[in-house]
Amino acid sequence: MQVTRDFSHYIRAAGAGLQHIDLAVEGVHCAGCMAKIERGLSAIPDVTLARVNLTDHRVALEWKAGTLDPGRFIDRLEELGYKAYPFETESAEVLEIAESRLLLRCLGVAAFAAMNVMMLSIPVWSGNVSDMLPEQRDFFHWLSALIALPAAAYAGQPFFRSAWRALSAKTTNMDVPISIGVILALGLSVVETIHHAEHAYFDAAIMLLTFLLVGRFLDQNMRRRTRAVAGNLAALKAETAAKFVGPDEISQVPVAAIHPGDIVLLRPGERCAVDGAVIEGRSEIDQSLITGETRYVTAEQGTPVYAGSMNISGSLRVRVSAASEATLLAEITRLLDNALQARSRYMRLADRASRLYAPVVHATALITILGWVIAGASWHDAIVTGVAVLIITCPCALGLAIPTVQTVASGAMFKSGVLLNSGDAIERLAEVDHVIFDKTGTLTLPDLEVTNAADVPAAIFGLAGRLALSSHHPVAAAVAEAAGARSPILGAVEEAGQGVRAVVDGVEIRLGRPSFCGAETLADGTNLHAEASLVAFSKGTEKFILSVRQGLRPDAQAVIAALKARNLGIEILSGDREPAVTAAAHALGISEWRAGVTPADKIARIEELKQRGFKVLMVGDGLNDAPSLAAAHVSMSPISAAHLSQATADLVFLGRPLAPVLAAIDVSRRALHLMQQNLWLAIGYNLLAVPVAIGGVVTPLIAAAAMSGSSILVMLNSVRARSALREIS
């Protein structure tokens, strides 16, 4: 059988007879890597573009159509020492990029207009107290209008649209008071200019938009960066499958290019990327990622297999079933939808603040107008004062209060190996008081480990490791890695489903099932962990038993202890068998645990805790955890998790240790504190400024200065937090 790599799914036509592909590259960190990769790839003839994006860790490549096989780029990068995978931009990411560009464009327009209107405003302010002629003032006001009106119409788009959507849905959000404030200020300014008045508010309105756009852009940029990195990681996991393109020919294709009815080959040691049923072959499969069950399941003709399960011993031909019809996935998707709907009711801190803020501000402005009319002022003067109140209470400090902290906090989390999937995850994570862990793949590492290496003589263990190199079996791979074996034994023969044997110095050595090595009695006599797989090694008449199982994450004990010290409730919910869960719970000192639970059970448990008023953090990785990840108040997933779980989780953490979970909680708590501090700063400013505005003594100069001052104060407070957050992580 011959394997070809098919990249046609990822290649785009770039016009002018060129083809384009994006590759996600692992380990690009510095200018040196960038130059090395670009030089190395450009050296290939017919390559017209090789450009590294250091922010997203990607390479864009273009070459003359039909002259090159993209596989060559990947080989070349491998020679240079980088692992690369073809990459497809998700539609969500494309939308975010477009939105981020729109915000940056709006920000540019608003900043330009603000600077120029300010340039015209300062002569008016100084002229008002000296000798400016009314005609000159009007001329400057009209010029300001000419700049500010179109600029505000363009740069205000993000706010106007969002406010309109909110009003159409009969709710309010932060953008409603912003839009009303801006439109009223501009409208009033035009009226004032027509009446040759001394003051106009064009400068205040356009500055308000500028500051708000800065906040909006920071917020958006944080999410975009995370999504780009998370997208890369998904590509690095390289979910591909070997599809039969002929009766005896297979091609390695991306999962996205596989359709129901296709037949794929599942080789030993491979993780299945599709849902389907076995049509030929016999093997054992490890479904721990899906069900949490660590014991292997026998697969034969007709057995359903799910994406995420690992094939252990034999090759299988699998007919792909439609993903949506697959029973497990359909069940999980249904649960997931329900859970997501339930969670969408969560109100972000900023929205909660603005829900209180908008009516208060609008009521204050209205009362000011009515109050002045009752006190005998003209309608005109009363309305001018009312608008001054609206401008000075502009929510721009409020608009910056949260995104600035989010940006700093997401940077701190990124440093400690945590990626944020949603902006409000920080707020939700900070409120957590109960943590639920899945066991398999979350508290334990996803790969296997030899637990009793110390019981076997080092020379024997080394020999077993070398022999294990000749087998594809994951258990053998674990033995080989534990022994640090590098040179395989020549002439080793693998007997499918049994083990490997070879002859060294005239003595036969065997590694495999206890029965294969004649060590059944030894295996029955050992009293090792219930969840472990036993593998035997024999050298002539000497026989040894190795115990292989999923080890706990290296710092799991310390992290659990630290979480307990923070007064968080801890429990384990696992789909695995009871002895395996008991062992892990005991080792970690967790008193509350449940074994053999289904996805629906997990959700039920989370709902029960919610009813009792707990805010639950769910940490899990399996396909079966996806619905409970969505149902929990906030969720985390390791990077080794099933694709669906990772997409559902609010945060994704990298690496082998469990420490990022702890760091994320600490950072988010500190960040929430800062957000609240910023909101109080903004509110405190309003409490000082509003009485002055109601008094009717606010000139545009004071309004502009006060507004900018409060925004800058909030930004400085967030930047000050940078070092504190970095320390935690």
Partner 1 sequence: MEILVILVPLALALGLAGLTAFLWSLKSGQYEDLDGAAWRAIADDDAEPAAARRLENKDGARS
Query: Which are the catalytic amino acids?
Result: 438
Q: Which stretch binds partner 1 (CB under 8 A): 115-123, 607-615, 647-655, 670-678?
A: 115-123
* Contact flag: residue 526 with partner 1 (CB under 8 A): no
- 251 phi and psi angles, rounded to 5 deg: -135, 135
Question: Closest separation between CB of residue 62 and partner 1, Å?
Answer: 7
Structure tokens at 135: 């005609």
* Contact flag: residue 136 with partner 1 (CB under 8 A): yes
* Contact flag: residue 122 with partner 1 (CB under 8 A): no
- What residues between 424 and 453 interact with partner 1 by CB under 8 A? none
The nearer residue to partner 1, 14 or 600, going by C-beta atoms, is 14
Q: Which stretch binds partner 1 (CB under 8 A): 106-114, 606-614, 642-650, 688-696?
A: 106-114
Q: Are 690 and 459 in contact (CB under 8 A)?
A: no
* Contact flag: residue 104 with partner 1 (CB under 8 A): yes
What is the 3-class SS of 44-96, one letter each residue?
A: CCCEEEEEEECCCCEEEEEEECCCCCCHHHHHHHHHHCCCEEECCCCHHHHHH
How many Å apart are CA 673 and CA 704, to the nearest integer? 28
Task: Kindly tell me which residue out of 2, 15, 344, 612 binds partner 1, with binding defined by CB under 8 A.
Answer: 15
Task: Kindly tell me which residue out of 11, 68, 80, 143 binds partner 1, with binding defined by CB under 8 A.
Answer: 143
Residue in 684, 667, 678, 659 with CA at minimum distance from that of residue 719: 678
SS3 468: helix
Strands 310-311 and 418-420: unpaired
Q: Which stretch binds partner 1 (CB under 8 A): 26-34, 312-320, 664-672, 684-692?
A: 26-34
Task: Kindly tell me which residue out of 77, 84, 109, 176 binds partner 1, with binding defined by CB under 8 A.
Answer: 109
How many Å apart are CA 666 and CA 377, to the nearest integer? 55
* Contact flag: residue 108 with partner 1 (CB under 8 A): yes
The nearer residue to partner 1, 97 or 373, going by C-beta atoms, is 97
Question: Closest separation between CB of residue 57 and partner 1, Å?
Answer: 10
How many Å apart are CA 153 and CA 73, to the nearest integer? 47
Q: Are 621 and 309 in contact (CB under 8 A)?
A: no
The nearer residue to partner 1, 74 or 110, going by C-beta atoms, is 110
- Helix (H) or strand (E) holding 449, with range, is strand 444-450
The nearer residue to partner 1, 119 or 587, going by C-beta atoms, is 119
The nearer residue to partner 1, 155 or 698, going by C-beta atoms, is 155
DSSP-derived letter for residue 440 is I
Helices (H), 171-287: 175-194, 202-236
SS3 318: strand
Question: Closest separation between CB of residue 54 and partner 1, Å?
Answer: 3
- Alpha carbon distances (Å) from 276 to 304, 316, 673: 6, 11, 49
Question: Closest separation between CB of residue 15 and partner 1, Å?
Answer: 7
The nearer residue to partner 1, 90 or 447, going by C-beta atoms, is 90
The nearer residue to partner 1, 106 or 408, going by C-beta atoms, is 106
The nearer residue to partner 1, 143 or 453, going by C-beta atoms, is 143
Question: Closest separation between CB of residue 349 and partner 1, Å?
Answer: 28
Residue in 401, 394, 400, 397 with CA at minimum distance from that of residue 178: 394
Let me know the angle formed at the C-alpha of 633 by 630 and 638, rounded to the nearest 5 degrees: 60
Count of residues that bind partner 1 according to CB under 8 A: 34
Task: Kindly tell me which residue out of 21, 124, 147, 425 binds partner 1, with binding defined by CB under 8 A.
Answer: 147
Strands 283-286 and 297-299: antiparallel
| Beta-bridge partners for 291 | none
Residues in the chain: 729
Question: Closest separation between CB of residue 47 and partner 1, Å?
Answer: 6
Question: Closest separation between CB of residue 152 and partner 1, Å?
Answer: 15
Question: Closest separation between CB of residue 48 and partner 1, Å?
Answer: 6
- 112 phi and psi angles, rounded to 5 deg: -60, -50
DSSP-derived letter for residue 510 is E
Q: Which stretch binds partner 1 (CB under 8 A): 100-108, 256-264, 463-471, 499-507?
A: 100-108
Task: Kindly tell me which residue out of 2, 8, 30, 611 binds partner 1, with binding defined by CB under 8 A.
Answer: 30
The nearer residue to partner 1, 35 or 503, going by C-beta atoms, is 35
* Contact flag: residue 119 with partner 1 (CB under 8 A): yes
521 contacts: CB under 8 Å, gap ≥ 6: none
- What residues between 35 and 94 interact with partner 1 by CB under 8 A? 35, 38-39, 41-42, 47-56, 62
Q: With 0-12 CB in 10 A as exposed, 13-18 as middle and 19+ as buried, what is 687?
A: exposed
Contacts with partner 1, residue ranges (CB under 8 A) = 15, 30-31, 34-35, 38-39, 41-42, 47-56, 62, 101, 104-105, 108-109, 112, 115-116, 119-120, 136, 139, 143, 147
